[in-house]
Each structure stands twice: as C-alpha cells, then as structure tokens.
Chains A and B, each alone.
Chain A
C-alpha cells in the first residue's frame, strides 16, 4: 500500500461509491429512525413493563455482537483501501474476514433468539419483545442482503477484468449502514433505561 496521508488530502474530494447508494442510506436511516421513535415513545409511556422485560436480555451478548459487527465494518474499510491501492489479494482477504465476522454475528443473534424464546419470551409475549424481535429481525434481513452485497465485492475483486472500485465502495457503504443501524438498535434495546 503506497497511499499516504498527503496523497489523500490532495485527492479530489469525491463521494465514496455511487451517490445513489447514499440516497438509499439516508432514506433507510429515516425509516429506521421512525421505528426507533415509535419504540422510544411507547417505551416512555410504560417504562415498568419495558424495564422488566429488558432485564431478560444479556447486555454482554449485545456488547459482543456490537464489537463483532464493528470489526466486520473495519474489515470492509480496509478492503476498500486495499482495493483502491491495487492490493487485490489483501482486499479479498478482508472481504472474507468481513463475511466471517458477519457469520459470527448471525450465530450469536440466532442463539440469543433461541434462548429467549425457549424462556417464553416470544414475538408476541409483550410490547418490549415485539420491538426486540422486530428491530433485530429487520436488521437481520438487512444483514442477509449484506451477504449478497459482499458476494458482489468478492465477484468484482476476483477477476482483473472487473475490479470496479466504485462498485466496491458502494457495497462497503451498504455494509457500514448495516453496522451503524445495529449500533443504534443495540443502544436502544439493550442499554436505554
């Protein structure tokens, strides 16, 4: 990797990836903000119920999952920078690492769901768990889409005939969105009082 700080400041300031993906990021963030708003509103109206149900969650698992997902985000960021510098081998390695972290996240998430539902806390048990399963579930769907997106990155990086840097950055932008949405969901579901 040859790029250094001086070079980046001289680089023309350009939007990472397709600007179109940023429209998606901002729009989808608005939709999630609305989900969060409803959650906080109803939570504030019946704090006892939510607190009591929230006590069933294990904060350490949430923290672990957040760390794992932020790790995957870091890998994607490295992947983009390696690809930009033409180091496609390390870029592919970082993309696979990202997928690996995402698989860890999914496994932890599913095991948490299994544990909670076996303890009798299902989707329709109470309002807190409705929001819990809904928010983690819709985030889960975004993460599954993220695997397709990572597949596009790997497909692009593997052949010298493709290697479209803009597409790689677009996909990375999507992945980071999944990450920061989780950061918000984690804070709101596990830590908010």
Chain B
C-alpha cells in the first residue's frame, strides 16, 4: 500500500500547513488580542495557500503523472493566481 502512504504524507503536510495558520494568527495579534493589519502576514498567508494548492494539484489531482503540458499549465495558474492576488492587494494599499 505504498500509494496510500504517499497520500497520507500529503495530507499530513496539508494539515500542518493549515495548522500553521493558527500560529500565524497568534503572532499576528497584539498583546491585547486585537487583530492588526499587516503587510507581512497577507503575502505570507497567500503564498502558503498557493503552496497547498500546488500540492493538491500535483498529488491529489495526479498532475505529477500527467503530460508535461498540464504540469506547466497548472504551475502557470498557481503563479497567475499569486500575481493577481498580491497585485490587487498592493494596488489597493497604494491608492488607498
């Protein structure tokens, strides 16, 4: 059952990346526990989410074993999502 083991490892990685958000959230709050806006956390959170998306693409959706074109395409999409999200955020910050 080597396959299942690999999928299990994938799930554990995804779960720990999810749990990492709890830690980020903890460090993101100030001493009184109120939320603060942060130009550091937002890109970090987005990048972690995209890493998870790419893992889901590669492992769960079996893009790993798919033709190279699909690998490139999904990678391009991950980059595209990242660029769009970050630029929307920073443009919003800039023209605020």
- Chain A CB count within 10 A is highest, among B1, B3, B15, B25, for B3
State how many residues of chain B have any CB contact under 8 Å with chain A.
56
- Bound: A190/B90 CA distance, A: 19
Q: Does A63 contact B (CB under 8 A)?
A: yes
Contact B38 A176 (CB under 8 A): no
Contact A41 B24 (CB under 8 A): no
* B contact patch SS: helix
* Known interface pairs A43-B92, A186-B18; 10 further A-B residue pairs with C-beta atoms within 8 A, sorted by A's residue number: A16-B63, A34-B84, A40-B92, A66-B18, A74-B8, A176-B61, A183-B53, A186-B49, A191-B45, A193-B38
Interface set, chain A 78-126, CB cutoff 8 A to B? 78, 80-81
Contacts of A183 in B (CB 8 A): 49, 52-53, 56
Give the A-binding residues of B (Cβ under 8 A). 1-4, 7-8, 10-11, 14-15, 18-19, 21-22, 24-25, 28, 34-38, 41-42, 45-46, 48-49, 52-53, 56-57, 59-63, 65-68, 70, 73, 77, 80-81, 84-85, 88-93, 95-96
- Bound: A63/B54 CA distance, A: 19
Contact B96 A45 (CB under 8 A): yes
State how many residues of chain A have any CB contact under 8 Å with chain B.
60
Binary flags per residue of A161-193, CB closer than 8 Å to B gives 1, else 0: 000000001001100100110011011101111
* A contact patch SS: helix
- Bound: A176/B66 CA distance, A: 16
Knowing A13-B65, A41-B88, A193-B36, the reply to whether A70 touches B3 (Cβ < 8 A) is: no
